[in-house]
Structure 1
Amino acid sequence: MDFTDVSLVALRVFREVAERGTFTAAATALGYTQSAVSRQIATLERAAGNQLLERRREGVALTDAGQVVLRNAATVLDQIDATARELAGLPVAGGTVRLGWFPSAGAVLLPRAISAVRRTHPAITVTTREGSTPALVRALRAGTTDLAVIASAPPFRPPDAESPALKLETLAERSLRLAVPTGHPLAAHDSVDVADLRGQRWIAGPASSSELWMGVWPGLDERPVIAHTVRDWLAKLQLVAAGAGLTTISASMASAVPPGVRVVTVRGGPQELRRTILARLPGRMTEPTALLAAALRAAALEVNPPL
């Protein structure tokens, strides 16, 4: 095993593959060919004397040796990046926190937390990235994100099976809601029965599994009619306001709905609970990271006061 000749390029490519989950996605993100990514990974595996990635049909997974290399590669690359920033004269005193968030968290929770940090600790820089929960978990493992606001649904399993287990803190747990146009018959009451959702038109976007649609009420006993396919939650709500269909919504987004949308609860069937979770790698947080985590907790309490 000889790491003396391992290049920073190989380490960056390895971290990108670990974060993106596939060679193809990493190549696209880096602007490389897939064969170039494969060569860098092969070079790193030869230097490590171990297989670092397990190739699977759906992507790649880190081996035990890969987790060791990734953990140390993230530290080295962060130090190199911090050195480059300091040499460039960029401010470093306050520190930078890298935050990942799942789409609907960006409507209310994220702006409140960042605004609070900017107001009380202006020297801290917060950078953010939107992503699905699986992508954000990979980013935490890869060391490219310090904190992640992720979503979870029953039975509330851990977001991955890697070791060490992520530190998870529930920021909020609320029932899923339904957004309907104010002129729709279902908007006449505060709650509707799940049976009333049969035959409705839905505004939804594909989830991580091709069998699921984000925006359709879970557990419908029929094939849903998808009238509009949309990933952005605020765009979904604007389409609801236009009378184009129905969509699901987290309780925390109720304050962000545009005019023309009414938020109602759904009765009957299993209770559709959703958790908003703050995730990070175990270990002591830096002071800027801890301050942002505290701001996210406070914002979650504002948006989701105790019942």
Structure 2
Amino acid sequence: MDISSVGLRVLQQIAESGSFTAAATRLGYTQSAVSRQAAALERNAGATLFERRPDGVRLTPAGLTLLRHARTILDSVAAAERDLTGTSPQTELVRLGAFLSAGAVLLPAALKRLATTDPHITVTTREGTTPSLIRALRAGSIDLAVLTSRPPHRPPDGESPPLHVETVEDTELVVAASSTGEFAGRTTVHVDELVDAAWIATPSSSSEPLLGVWPGLPGRPRIVHSARDWLTKLHLVAGGFGVTTLPSRLSPVLPPGVSLLHVEGAPPEVRRILVARLPGHPHPAVTAVTRAIKSPA
């Protein structure tokens, strides 16, 4: 089987991004070049590696098998390049992905602990949605991922073998409102009072549900502002331009003018924070980073 490292990188990027177009953008190739590499991979492997679906491209079982080997091969190629150029790192690198709000509280605390307990480990971070981080983990682009889960807390994906997942903590979902607005001076709000509220939400996609609106809210929510950045959303809340939901663990970093409200008249909404990695025996550096993330503040 004659497969180049370029072809394996294309396979890895398609697995992570879920489309030929996105893979081409990340690699700096044309879409036609990625399509040719994909076709050559399938021809040389003698198997169908990609499943073209309306919502994108997914790897077939044969593609996932090749991906597992691709991670090992590409890591070995990178190590060989470092040895040949004399640039072998003096520290151990762990590539960590985290969902969008984890960077405000969880990551700084974990990295501070790690700097004390394991200063020889260097962590690079990237943020993304839980679905995109799972794809990156499967593709080998990151070593560890901090994810969120909703009840009933099913496995992060349906791929085999299952990811190794550990629970960090459970956190309650609350509503952030202006301290001087309609709900000023209150610590609770009834769900019926939120039906006509102006909401500040994160844009949704086919793979990620609408974030920022109370789950199960009766009727269609009135979304007045849409933003991915948490700081933007919270400052809009402080200015009295709407309300949004957020995990209660973000309370230490709220800007002035924002109050948190517990929702009554509806079941509690709890989000589980998880740390996930590929199955198998982890590298000691990955174990150390996991330990730092799970350690209580």
Matched, 1:166 2:163: yes
Matches of 1:289 and 1:211 in 2, distance apart? 27
Counterpart mapping for 1:129-140 below 5 A: 129-140=126-137
Which of residues 284, 287, 290 in structure 2 aligns to 1:287? 284
Instruction: With the length of structure 2 as denominator, give the TM-score of the two structures.
Output: 0.96
Q: Does structure 2 conserve the Cα–Cα contact (< 8 Å) formed by 1:99 and 1:129?
A: yes
Counterpart mapping for 1:239-278 below 5 A: 239-278=236-275
Q: How far off is 1:58 after superposition?
A: 0.4
Task: Give the percent of matched residue pairs that are identical in Structure 1 and Structure 2.
Answer: 52
Gaps of 5+ in 2: none
Matches of 1:167 and 1:187 in 2, distance apart? 44
Which of residues 78, 87, 90 in structure 2 aligns to 1:81? 78
Number of residues of Structure 1 aligned to a counterpart in Structure 2: 297
Q: How far off is 1:285 after superposition?
A: 1.1
Matches of 1:165 and 1:100 in 2, distance apart? 18
Counterpart mapping for 1:25-44 below 5 A: 25-44=22-41
CA RMSD of aligned residues (A): 1.5
Q: How far off is 1:85 after superposition?
A: 3.1
Q: Which moved more, 1:168-177 or 1:130-139?
A: 168-177
Q: How far off is 1:32 after superposition?
A: 1.1
1:305 — aligned with what? Answer: none
1:9 — aligned with what? Answer: 6
Matched, 1:62 2:59: yes
SS in structure 2 at match of 1:186: coil
Matches of 1:274 and 1:86 in 2, distance apart? 44
Matches of 1:91 and 1:252 in 2, distance apart? 39
Matches of 1:12 and 1:111 in 2, distance apart? 31
Q: How far off is 1:212 after superposition?
A: 4.2
Matches of 2:90 and 2:195 in 1, distance apart? 57
Which of residues 11, 20, 23 in structure 1 aligns to 2:17? 20
Change (3 A) 1:93 1:204: same
Counterpart residue type for residue 207 of structure 1: S
Q: Does structure 2 conserve the Cα–Cα contact (< 8 Å) formed by 1:86 and 1:92?
A: no
Matched, 1:95 2:92: yes
Query: CA offsets per residue over residues 239-266 of structure 1, 9 Å max, x none?
Result: 1111111010112111111111111211
Matches of 1:143 and 1:248 in 2, distance apart? 32
Matched, 1:230 2:204: no
Q: How far off is 1:203 after superposition?
A: 0.8
Gaps of 5+ in 1: 303-307
Q: How far off is 1:53 after superposition?
A: 1.1
1:182 — aligned with what? Answer: 179
Query: CA offsets per residue over residues 256-292 of structure 1, 9 Å max, x none?
Result: 1111111121111222111111111111111111110
Matches of 2:86 and 2:199 in 1, distance apart? 51
Q: How far off is 1:28 after superposition?
A: 1.1
SS in structure 2 at match of 1:148: strand
SS in structure 1 at match of 2:10: helix
Instruction: With the length of structure 1 as denominator, give the TM-score of the two structures.
Output: 0.93
Change (3 A) 1:176 1:84: same
